[in-house]
Structure 1
Amino acid sequence: MHNLDLLPSKLRIVLFLLIGYFTSCGIIAGPETEKATFAGGCFWCMEPPFEVLPGVVSVISGYTGGKEKDPSYEEVSSGYTGHREAIQITYDPKQISYETLLEVFWRNIDPTDPDGQFVDRGSQYKTGIFYHNPDQKKAAEKSLLALTKRKLFKKKIVTEVIGFDRFYPAEGYHQDFYKKDPSQYKSYRSGSGRDQFIESVWGKEKTVRFLKPSLDEIQKKLSSLQFEVTQKDGTEPPFENEYWDNHKEGIYVDRVTGEPLFSSVDKFESGTGWPSFTRPLVAAYVVMKTDSSHGMVRSEVRSKYGNSHLGHVFDDGPKPTGLRYCINSASLKFIPKEDLEKAGYPEFRRQFSDPAGSKVN
């Protein structure tokens, strides 16, 4: 829902609620999009890992699984309505699969907790996959079985696969809470135990956020040129850098934090001697700033969490965007398509073709 971020906050909240209501009723969900509904405990924590995925149109917090119509937060929090805090995802199945959404879901919850999630206790915080059709049910059950066979957990997996009935969007102040009140969100999350559990099971999984190391750590990690470009807004020489003529399939991530930034699908030959792209891979990780240095006014491109200097964007690119993201190789790390799962980016594998020429499912 990245385009809506440009709207005033109050208008954006109203649109979120309207979209959530109409999509939950099946009124505006066109054939090009589908819905997925997951309960994973506190919905504040379940929005961020899905909102950054390519192909996800919107993520709305709300309530599902109960019988009472249009419940309030207070009513659900009592535990007596039968509802669970949940998120409803509207996504483009041509860009991201339901199976990928399931994988992200599993990596952000404790599926062995029968009485809540982490610091939040009660039936309203129980996990669940609410399938919308037989295909989703089959995929969810298959995913659950596969996770069980991996034996990652000491306790039994208790997350339920349940038929979807109704979804009620939560109050406006709950939507995108991590953006509205980042200080309170970070305080709550750090004390909830969720991140500690995720790291203990999955390692330093990058589906939630990308933490920037200290400056000393960055300097030890990078070459002198990489440090100069990313941390001091430098520029590398054209035609004498790592990726300007790289034609392999894969994605380009932030050299410092690993944020997924660009894809070979959107890379083109600009003739400038630097890697050039028509668009970001995940718009949420690319930040634009005005650069008035060197007697010019340009649009600088930086990574969101790493705040790394990446390059600049110009309006002389090819269709469909007409943009040219001119990026320093020194700011990027390339991950070939065959290494995406191993490197922790399975959600991006789908956009590339297998050797036979068909898209990977």
Structure 2
Amino acid sequence: MHRLDPSQVAYLTALRHELHSHPEISAEESATAQRMINELTALGADRIWSNLGGYGVAAEFKGLAPGPTVLFRCELDGLPIRELSALPYKSRIEGRGHLCGHDGHMACMLGVAMCLVPRPASGRIILLFQPAEETGAGAKAVIEDERWPYIRPDYAFAYHNVPGRPLGEIGLRPGPGNCASRGMQILFEGKSSHAAAPEDGVSPTSAMAGLMTSLPQLSHGTVGEDDFALSTVTHANLGKPTFGIAPADGELRVTLRTMRNERMESLIADALAHIERIKGSLKLEVHWHDVFRSVINDPDATAIARDVAQALGFVVHEMDLPMRWSEDFGRIGDDGAKATMLYIGSGELQPQLHNPDYDFPDALLPIVVHQFCGIVDRLLGPTKP
């Protein structure tokens, strides 16, 4: 297996810092995508697809003989969160930051591309730089792109760094690895009235208060159980900030979360039934946002990742429970690939994902690259000059 040399690690580190300084949020990743295209072109990709499902980029590296297609996915997008740090490479864009580590994930994928010179013995590698992962829209858009049939893999691998776990530890879990989730936005429309005569209006107050109490009661069990469900109120807005008007309009946002996709369907049905029972004469609309399907890790792909990690001497953590947070990589597995997520420790003292002081640890870069390049060797044969 080709390993990164110190100059390559230094280059990837500097690139990661540059990406960190210029985050672009979901569906706005145009400059980031162009930078990836430039890097992949310089690294000799055999083919590059751009504007894939938005600003997505995919690069093909062909092996020396026919064989399976192996895809590695990373994410392009940052977050609409203000970064609070004294880093010399902190975000230069107010209110936005790479506070989930996607800057590091991209740098790792470019490190894999470096290891593909020379090429593997067979098959082909697809490096996918996916847009809009944070909103759950990106993978769906990529798969629905008319060019996806030319890209569709036999195996697919992705990873996420995991704060709170030892640096470089390879977390694996066949079966459910990340929960399904979706945002439910409920818009209420009634009739305003003078605050001295609320009976002359139709206020959403009682309905909203009732739902803020009843919807969380749909939560059930604990993560790891097939029937696990979690319903979390995340936002409420009622009327205008006045004292003279009984409100007419309101908005409630709730995140629904389950371990399995089938359970999500029943949780949605239960939530809608609660809304129907309590709405009274109010008009209301329900809209869905940030729809993530659960990640179901293929056992064969997971076993390959485990064998490679052990051969490289990495510590393997066999995870008892799936992650509560969601990841839209599950859609690639739904599309037929043998797919698995790796959950790679980013340090026990590392700030949590989406915290304003989070920063991807540069020491993780060569670990991830060597793990993924080991998977290439395992599935496609060792690289040859």
TM-score range, shorter chain: under 0.3
Is the radius of gyration larger for structure 1 or structure 2?
Answer: 2
Q: TM-score, normalised by structure 2?
A: 0.26
Relative contact order, higher structure (CA 8 A, sep 6+): 2
Q: TM-score, normalised by structure 1?
A: 0.27
Normalized per residue, which structure has more helix?
1
